[in-house]
Structure 1
Amino acid sequence: MAGQDCGSDSGGPETRRFKSILRCTQKCGTVLGARENQHEERRSGLKAQRSGTGENFMSQRHAPVIVIGSGPAGYTAAIYAARAMLKPIVIAGLQQGGQLMITTDVENYPGYADPVQGPWMMDQMATQAQNVGAEIVHDIITEVETTVRPFRLKGDSGTIYTCDALIIATGAQAKWLGLDSEQTFMGGGVSACATCDGFFYRGKDVVVVGGGNTAVEEALYLSHIAKSVTVVHRRDGFRAEKIMQDRLLSRQNVSVVWNSVIDEILGTEAKPPMGATVTGVRLKNVVTGETQELDTHGVFVAIGHAPAVSLFEGKLKQKPNGYLWTAPDSTATDVPGIFAAGDVTDDIYRQAVTAAGMGCMAALEAERWLAAQEPLHEAAE
């Protein structure tokens, strides 16, 4: 998909934040354009339902299986559950399609000889899930009750969903540095999505923070847009795949500052309409303690992701690092009938293909678990 002119980076912080939502839509073409329309329809629908004018205000929906999340894990789970005649409902969440909706070239997913666009691939998964019988609902789950049977979920629309088996595929979200200045310049030079915001730094100097696959991918993408890319990494070597490291280090406009962290993001906190704007960063060497300042127009944070588990804290067992716990060689959580798949539980691989595989596992395990409950229900009757 060809990139499109997304407009200038003028305007205040609120304008830039709004543009940030639209950037990836305009860059990635019609697929994301359709997704943004869906987001708008979803927001309008939820508002109408909350106000009591929607048809489904405080309605109730039941399905044998409900999937929370619409990334590779969620859609694959839905495909397998639908083929098992379990009539799954997929609650898409705010970002339908997951993290691949902000990914440009996907080169390592089996079945595609040439790189494909992440949004297109997720659109295909959604269509496949619907074609085999899954229902995709544009809602956001705000509450989950795991101690009742059937399980009970409340949507932001006011709809109550119940299910006999629940598959959690809520994925993960970007981590931030935790600096006050990071929040100050959010939307004014600080971003966690090069695909979304890179266009606004065409011909400018940018900094990428991190050393894993995400950081290297972001830096590679930006190297085709920005005048210069400086990668700041707290260690003395990347953790990314070797082939990606070689690609990045071969780029003449890319440099690396090893053993360093961002100590502060610098900039001007101008009044509206210009808003706060990044002008540089202060770096600190973690070995020597020395600091240096580096001029830059943008800071892209790519230090990993945290699992989206807020709905389940205190309700489901978690690993020490916060990811949902599952039994060995299984997607089963500590609550019978609830399964977890993808980046919400995978703290090792975090790949689209492994997420899809886990979605398959979760659906198969849910099917078997439900089948095992039928004799129990019959005996109870």
Structure 2
Amino acid sequence: MDYDIAIIGLGPAGIQAGIHAGRRKNKVIIFGKTSESALNYAHLENYFGFKEKIEGKELLSAGIEQLKKADVTILEEDIIKIEPLEKGFKLITEKEKEITAIALILAMGVKRKKSFFKREKDFIGKGVSYCVDCDAWFYKGKKVIVIGDGSSAIWGAKFLTQFAKEIYFYFSKGELSSEEKKSLEEKGIKILTLKPVEIIGENEVKGVKLEDESILEVDGIFIEQGAKGPLELLAPLGIELDPETFNYVKVDREMKTNVEGIFACGDITGPPFQVAKAVGEGCIAGLSASDYVSKVKRES
């Protein structure tokens, strides 16, 4: 294995887990981008030890320095796929790096989706999908469009080339880098410059209307905004979710999931969405994962 513990999420829960796991002398790697943490754009007034308001980005910056002191490797890339191994896990990053670890800590928060189209919800399961891994097979030999603004969308479009006969791609935020554009075009993916503004169809997707009023006929629309969503990323692993909403990962008091070797902490385990909770759970997850790694090494 490349590492003892891999942590997905560079927010307060993941950072705290990394600090504790690193101080236990594990070989630890953490993935994510502080710019994507909700804390980066917030301030705190009710956090233990601070009498005055503190900016979230200050806490994140201090946490990064603590990770470095604990010899934790920081890789500012999103994870787009997790594969279980016989004893451990393989993680694939947005730049297609492959990294293995004995234990995995999930701390990527929750993905708050915003609709891209007005009638989007009417077509979920009828041509609109949020999970390339789950639904790519249904579009074998068909035409699809991928709409998104992050690594998940780019990876999803490339993955679909194994199934769909024709793929269109619209980058919904800013501009693609020359490297990203080249990597898509090399796969035969057609990049749109005109924004899709409306879904065409009655009972199922027949196409999209572009901002110049032209119609692009497609059979499916994949919407992948931001980093890979936690639930989409975890779907193939068989991780149990809370039985009431199916929006959060179910854990016990040691932050263990139902899958051996996988732990979770922070917003991904459900409300309240507070830094104090995230940090507390991150502490427990880091210690529990460390104990698990020690046990695996003793038994091997």
Aligned-CA RMSD value = 2.5
Match of 1:349 in 2: 272
With normalisation by structure 1, the TM-score equals 0.47
How far is the alpha carbon of 1:135 from its aligned partner?
1.4
| Aligned positions of 1:62-211 closer than 5 A | 62-93=2-33, 95-96=34-35, 98-103=37-42, 105-176=43-114, 180=118
What percentage of aligned pairs have identical amino acids? 26
How far is the alpha carbon of 1:178 from its aligned partner?
8.1
How far is the alpha carbon of 1:126 from its aligned partner?
1.1
Structure 2 counterpart of 1:84, one-letter code: R
Ranges in structure 2 where 5+ consecutive residues have no aligned partner: 122-210, 213-228
| Aligned positions of 1:22-61 closer than 5 A | none
Post-superposition Cα deviations, 1:173-229, rounded to whole Å, max 9, x if no partner, equal 32447870899xxxxxxxxxxxxxxxxxxxxxxxxxxxxxxxxxxxxxxxxxxxxxx
Ranges in structure 1 where 5+ consecutive residues have no aligned partner: 1-60, 184-269, 272-306
2:264 and 2:117 map into 1 onto residues whose CA distance is: 32
Structure 2 counterpart of 1:66, one-letter code: A
- 1:333 paired with 2:257, answer yes
Q: 2:242 aligns with which of 319, 322, 331?
A: 319
Q: Decide whether the 8 Å contact of 2:44 with 2:53 is kept in 1.
A: yes
How far is the alpha carbon of 1:110 from its aligned partner?
1.2
Q: Decide whether the 8 Å contact of 1:325 with 1:334 is kept in 2.
A: no
Q: Decide whether the 8 Å contact of 1:97 with 1:122 is kept in 2.
A: no
2:271 is paired with a residue whose SS is: coil
2:73 and 2:231 map into 1 onto residues whose CA distance is: 23
Match of 2:173 in 1: none
Are residues 134 and 72 of structure 1, via their aligned partners in 2, closer, same or farther at CA, if it must alter by over 3 Å?
same
1:367 and 1:323 map into 2 onto residues whose CA distance is: 27
Q: How many residues align?
A: 194
1:101 is paired with a residue whose SS is: helix
Q: Decide whether the 8 Å contact of 1:72 with 1:97 is kept in 2.
A: no
How far is the alpha carbon of 1:343 from its aligned partner?
0.6
Q: Decide whether the 8 Å contact of 1:90 with 1:136 is kept in 2.
A: yes
Greater relative CO (CA pairs within 8 A, separation 6+): 2
2:21 and 2:52 map into 1 onto residues whose CA distance is: 29
Find the structure with the greater CA-based Rg.
Answer: 1
Structure 1 counterpart of 2:101, one-letter code: C
- 1:376 paired with 2:277, answer no
2:111 is paired with a residue whose SS is: strand
- 1:365 paired with 2:288, answer yes
How far is the alpha carbon of 1:156 from its aligned partner?
0.9
With normalisation by structure 2, the TM-score equals 0.59
